[in-house]
Structure 1
Amino acid sequence: MSGWDSEVDVAVVGGGACGVMSALRAARNPDLVIAVFEKSTREGCNAAISSGSLAAGGTRFQAAAGIEDSPQRHAEDIIAASGDEEWRPVVEALCAAAPEFVEWIADTGYPMEIGTDMPRAGMSVPRLHTDVGRLGGVRLMRHLRTLLDACDNVAFVDEAPVVDLVVEDGEVAGVVVQQNGTTQRVRANAVVLASDGFAGSPALVKEHLSHLGAPFYGGVSTATGDALAWVLPLGARLRNMGAGLRSGLVVVDHGTRVSPALPFNGAVLVNLDGERFVEEDTKGYSSMAGVLQRQPGERAAMIWDATAMEATRESEMMRECLAAGAIRDRAALADVAADLGRTVEETERLLAPLPGRRALTAPYHLAWVTHGLLATQGGLVIDPSGRVLDASGTPIPRLFAGGGTACGLAGAHSDGYMSGNGLLSAFGMAWIIGNALSRTA
């Protein structure tokens, strides 16, 4: 082992959703020694600050609720939203894995339910699965890391950022890790790139996402896209680098987000010019960000009533908004009119329901919302097995990628993002990669 400080079978770069799940699945083979190198759990990961909602088609939870769905239907919805037919093989592989990993997570003791109250634009049926109690991604990641701690053949190494790959004779041979002020070379038979995307890198965002303007950033600071620079010299390719996971639900001056279910419960949006500018329930929260970016002041008032509040209050996002004082309670139409700077008559016309939607009734609630960037969707080109491909479409030996490091499911534009795509990419590809590694010891 000359020139190496240590040796493992599998080196996983990143301890978020993709990294932890890939390690858990690979660790089923007791002959494998696995190391997960995490930049810093103090900051968290994008999965931990997400809602923790898992999109899957054809689960037992849907069946119990009388919802007919399938992995193929799930895939068709994603491709209809993204328009990315070229990415179909990856999409179909992830959607096939989704019901398997959702049910497996539940079977490990995680309290899971189908979110029948969580409608989302583009989903032909309810398919977001969430934890009972709606405590969000932090609860999910805590559960999975606890499972990982129980694996005798896995080391989770915190405060140990990977800073490069080791390449020998044109092949990936290991990783370079910084820990406690020292640099170590770790030999590995396989390397899984499972770090977050690049939304936390101002330089890369400026290079690839300048068209988003200056959005609020709602992701983790550790999402700096480091792995991309390591792999490009090996001939790897990037795709869809101009796409991101955006949100048009960010509350101005608070940074919290209101529930994506509000528009499906009658909420309306009014801009600074006193105009209704969109059919609110036709846009996903990522595509809504682009709509808000084009409004005066890049913001609008979202207004809803007690019925909508009751339907969404228990979501993690709404609880955070309420705790932060980000939602204004308004007893009467005149109070809403004052917030909008309009007459009561003008405000009554603005709140009039569009065809097929219900009328709002007092009391009301209001939040000024703007657009934000939560994560990136561009990344490395991989095959349906998670292998990183070079320019000729040939797998780079021993190198896998998933999560934010790999190209996501939004297509070439942020408008193509569908709710749940991020964790589907992370957990789905981790499931595929980890299962394959457990069989190839």
Structure 2
Amino acid sequence: MTIVPNSIEARDIAYQLHPNVNLRKYEKTGGLVIESGDGIYVTDTSGKRYIEGMAGLWSVALGFGEKRLAEVAKAQMEKLPYYHTFSYKTHGPSIDLAEMLIKMAPVPMSKVHFTSSGSEANDLACKMVWYRSNALGLKDKKKIIGRVKGYHGVTIASASITGLPRNHESFDLPLDRMIHTSCPSYVHFGLEGESETEFTARILKDLEDLILKEGPETIAAFWGEPVMGAGGVLTPPAGYWEGVQEILNKYDILLVADEVICGFGRTGKMFACETFNIKPDVLVVSKQISSSYMPLSAIIVNDRFYQPIADESNRIGVFGHGFTASGHPVATAVGLENLKIIQERDLVGNAARLEEKFLGGLAKLAEHPLAHSSRGVGLIGALEMKPWEGAAAGDAAAALSAACEEEGLICRNVAEALCFCPPLIITAEQIDDMFACVARALDKVAAARA
């Protein structure tokens, strides 16, 4: 990219500190500046149009340019642009959305607390797990189990629960209360000659052995994404979630299901907990709750979780937590309308109906000589690349991602996987277009290596 002085790209380099990049490299290359969006497409400042194969950051369920959300935001801005939920005060949109979330939850739930991002929501859930243990007089029951390759955010607590080295290195993380168990990805961690059933049994044993080693009386909660997103779209093997829940119930350990990516239709069910028969104590949601048109997230908790916390707040006089933007009226109004549209247009059903075509398209791409395998569920999936001999880890997927962008498709490379998570509004024809871009990109990368 040629950086023109005083252009928007040059000003970006001059003034913005970007997340998830090599900052020195960014100073030299700059980034792609997106100017507009429509449906599943976005357009950059040069006028080039792309299929947004990642729905932004796994999140824009309704695609770009949904006028109903803009109209609701404008109306709420004019009526009540801001109010809080502190100190015995609240407002209509947060009440309405909380009621809707309780009614649509995959298992019986009790209360909703709003935050602004998935990281904040997981951080709050962590604090509340500790608060609850203190309320029950379990002063030592504070450890939290995350998983290798799990992702739960970038705050100090949520990054500590995360099991990705890039979110720990040089940040002095993870905190010492956070421990990690095996990643349930058979394609990455299955042993030679080991069946998927044997793999599942082994990693479940790893979990129970970890609990016994640390002491069940010291472990408060287990965190898990039903499908691991930022780790590379890692789908669980058969029997995994049933086995995890049996172990957690045996040792009285809470289950926190992180549905920040999976929630609101991504797996072909309203919640991935339904897809995998997960019964959490805490459900963490964000992203598709508002299609990311407004920053919004929530934790949804059951009565087993809530009641000790309420008792403790009564004992000490206050639940001493809150964010300025918790339950922001514009964000919750947009979230409410977004979920209504998902239901009205049967976008959960759309994901279920298109699953076979989507996964079939990925499987076809996996037949390419550069590819290794594919995986996914609903409308979230990944194409695993074969590592290049003598190259750095992840180079193959990075090259394919760059080639896809040249072909007019934005997706995301994670290790050797190319990840896809298109808007839920995508059509069968658009899936064909998306994977045609990938096929051309694969051939382009292969030709460059020939």
Shorter-chain TM-score above 0.5 = no
Q: Name the one with the larger strand percent.
A: 1
More helix by share: 2
Which is bigger in relative contact order (C-alpha 8 A, separation at least 6)? 1
